[in-house]
Structure 1
Amino acid sequence: MIQILDSTLREGEQTPGVYFSPATKLAIAQFLDLVGVDIIEVGNPVVDREIALAITQIANAGLKAKIGAHCLCRIDDVNQALDCGVNFLGIFFSVSQQRLQQDYNIGLESAIEKIVEVITYARKQKDNLLIRYTPEDTVRSPLENVIEAAIAALKAGANIISIADTTGYTTPFHPIRSLYNYVKTLKEELAKQELYPQIEVHCHNDRGLALANALDAYRAGVNIIDVTVMGLGERAGIVDLAELLINLIDTVEEKHCWELSYLQELYDLVSKHSHISIFPHHPVIGKNAFTHYAGIHVNAVAKDEALYQSLNPEILGTKSSLALGIQSGYTAIELALQQIGRSELIKDKELVANILFKIKEIAKRGTPINIEKELPAIVESCAITKMITK
């Protein structure tokens, strides 16, 4: 069964300008738990006292999800994370030759010794701790380095190896540089050593391919996929939670337990506290995701929504809607009149035509029209004009 790791509270807070207070983090974590994510990665306690406090509060909140901390490959950092009461620990250290030389001034052998030391220590502290080892920038590191480090990490006590596409480098269209190939190869190489860990992917969206790469990894048999709400994160962010779930529900063969009806409230909460608006055209969650506008579309969905809609909004706890503007036709006006409780006016074709004309004139000014708030006034204006002209 595929597992979802949400990193809104860690990776998401690496979005420039985004800060979540401990109270806000707890509220977000509670919603993530209601949605049904498996692991909530809260942050690195070494970064700030408030992050440590948030991790501790969430770890003690009685949530179903596993609560994780993220830390550098250092024993002091591990201790601070474990002091927060987490049951998931992410340890990262690069095995890229360039990073090892430029950042740490050590070779691969020394790096692996450090990885083994820290993971061995963490394992001794807590038997049931889930430990993830991540070779930073996995997909651009020499594959032989990644394999050697992964084998050592697993033998030291790690349960999970994360393939980090730290710079959004992979693409499902490349014969070699795809996560499908990477996941398959890594699993095969580890199996030769009789090692069968969970494999995780962390896909950045620098080329706009994070979701595609994550689904490519799923096709290869990956076990855990990292996401954030709104796709928040460093630079262009990572895989968006709602977009991944809406694609997986039609793909996974196993019965899923995700409660998508909580997504809208979750996204509104994160949007409010991150001070980042949800783009109207955001798939699944944006206000236009189930809004129909063009005349031919509205005319069709009035008969059957499936004619211009492949998703059922009811699973998200919402409904389809329509918009009025220059693209509207008679059917849109008739449906809008029903929506505001003025269906008796539909028989008056001249009035409907006048309302449609008025709507189009307003739309040419670039002004959006709110059906509930503004259509009644437009209707009354057109009715008065009709009476005067008679």
Structure 2
Amino acid sequence: MLTYNKKKNLLELYKYQYSLQDVQEPNLYRDNFNYDEVPKVTFNYRLVPMNCPDEIWITDTTFRDGQQARAPYTVDQIVTLYKMLSRLGGPKGKIRTCEFFLYSENDRKAIRACQEQGLKFPEITGWIRATKEDFKLVKDMDLEECGILVSCSDYHIFNKLHKTRKQAMDGYLEVVKAALDMGIRPRCHFEDVTRADFYGFVVPFAQELRHLMEEYQIPVKIRFCDTMGYGVPYPGATLPRSVPGIIYGINHFGQFPSELIEWHGHNDFYKAVVNATTAWLYGASSVNCSLLGIGERTGNTPLEAMVMEYAQIRGTLDGMDPTVITEIAEYYEKELGYKIPERTPFVGADFNVTRAGIHADGVAKDEEIYNIFNTAKILNRPLGVEINKNSGSAGIAYWLNHNLQLEGNTKIDKNAPEVALLKDWVDKQYEDGRVAYISKEELIAAMQELTPHLMAYIKE
């Protein structure tokens, strides 16, 4: 079947048919995945086109996958974070959905409490195993969409489920039909897709899902789960590890529209963020994330990172409020007792703090020299300077001006006598064997002794 692509002004072959390859032995891609070696990335140099959708968005799994990596949140904590997610996503719903477990009483109470907030976004969705009995939980919670686990690599089909590909596919389709019969929008979680036979199982399965979608006239979503973080963004990389190949393949050969394609990545090889952005660029409308990247093993794609990725590739925040990111980070540390690594981008205590004197000197002349963007405006996180043995006079002067909020004529120059006094005190600390940085409280105590006239500028 030929169709005319109005975007590209070319004729395209529209109908592709891929048959399930019901192999007798599992394809474990041993050339890529020798368990006793670091996995290999292979290339065939086949390039697929970028095809960023008209609309892209973020979905959240903080209370599902994220909750598998920490103590369960209380109902009140979930409601607080859910409302923050709504504010962060803004009026256009750039954080589109938020998924929950349905099994425990605490999960169901949290869903009810979030539903009572009456917020349009993020939409509350569920997650269940691929069993028909679990759909009663979905209906009882008045949810319109639910995720279904449909493991798709031979590692899972043969070695975990002990089934053939046909048995697995038939079972999955039966569960999807049960969801559609109940009027529930299924979201099929293609677990371990980056070790799956793409044209032998993934595409044929997706085509069967598309036939069901056409029959029932109910959307069926596909969430590609890079369960082990094996995905790579490199042009010309081979399947099953190629993120561009997976997204383009399901969009073009599987004929799944972008708005029904979602990427869910893990960070085992430090690629969660770049893989999620790559999924957007090659045709997935949706990327699935968790707050602070909390998730199994090395974690999920950090939601706050994808807010910044969105702004970079779209040139706008589209109504999102990134200052809420700072509120979320403070809530995790102060209320949940979660220690965020200090150098974590956007949320760590030190992400926009400099300690080197030469950097502080540059910042004092023009903050833009050593700050990634106006963090005070965008994240409500002013740039900071921490004092240690390398801070020098410039660092101490910047610290004083920043913490005492001195502007214009009141600003202290790095050659000022007050700076010299405090620098001598700092140098003495390190000459005596100190290693740690000097806290704000210690510097204020030193000011009280050495430069008491500056204490009048300290705000309570």
Same fold (TM over 0.5): yes
Residue 352 of structure 1 aligns with an amino acid whose one-letter code is V
The answer for the alignment partner of 1:359 in structure 2 is 426
Q: Deviations over 1:47-71 (max 9, x none)?
A: x221122223223421222111111
* Pick aligned residue for 2:442 from 366, 369, 374: 374
Q: Deviations over 1:314-361 (max 9, x none)?
A: 111221122111111222222333333796876984442231121133
Summarize the alignment of residues 52-131 of structure 1 with structure 2, pairs less than 5 Å apart. Answer: 52-64=108-120, 65-126=122-183, 129-131=184-186
The answer for the alignment partner of 1:8 in structure 2 is 62
Residue 329 of structure 1 aligns with an amino acid whose one-letter code is G
Summarize the alignment of residues 1-390 of structure 1 with structure 2, pairs less than 5 Å apart. Answer: 1-15=55-69, 17-36=70-89, 37-46=94-103, 48-64=104-120, 65-126=122-183, 129-143=184-198, 144-157=200-213, 158-173=219-234, 175-176=237-238, 177-191=241-255, 198-252=260-314, 256-272=318-334, 275-313=337-375, 314-338=377-401, 339-340=403-404, 349-363=416-430, 365-371=434-440, 373-382=441-450
Structure 1: how far apart are the matches of 2:233 and 2:412?
54
The answer for the alignment partner of 1:387 in structure 2 is none
Q: Deviations over 1:180-208 (max 9, x none)?
A: 221112211112xx766621001100111
Is contact 2:206–2:250 with CA below 8 Å preserved after alignment?
Answer: no
Q: CA deviation at 1:110?
A: 2.4
Structure 2: how far apart are the matches of 1:142 and 1:355?
65
Is contact 2:100–2:124 with CA below 8 Å preserved after alignment?
Answer: no
Is contact 2:258–2:283 with CA below 8 Å preserved after alignment?
Answer: no
Is contact 2:57–2:95 with CA below 8 Å preserved after alignment?
Answer: yes
Is contact 2:99–2:125 with CA below 8 Å preserved after alignment?
Answer: yes
How many residues are treated as equivalent by the alignment?
377
In terms of mean alpha carbon deviation, does 161-170 or 263-272 score higher?
Answer: 263-272
Gaps of 5+ in 2: 1-54, 214-218, 453-460
What SS is found at the alignment partner of 1:135? strand
Structure 2: how far apart are the matches of 1:228 and 1:328?
36
Gaps of 5+ in 1: 385-390
Is contact 1:190–1:196 with CA below 8 Å preserved after alignment?
Answer: no
Structure 2: how far apart are the matches of 1:345 and 1:175?
55
Q: CA deviation at 1:383?
A: 5.5
What SS is found at the alignment partner of 1:116? helix
Residue 253 of structure 2 aligns with an amino acid whose one-letter code is E
The TM-score normalised by the length of structure 1 is 0.89
Structure 2: how far apart are the matches of 1:22 and 1:131?
26
From the two aligned structures, give the one with the greater helix fraction: 1
The TM-score normalised by the length of structure 2 is 0.76
Two-structure CA RMSD over aligned residues (Å): 2.4
Structure 1: how far apart are the matches of 2:172 and 2:114?
27
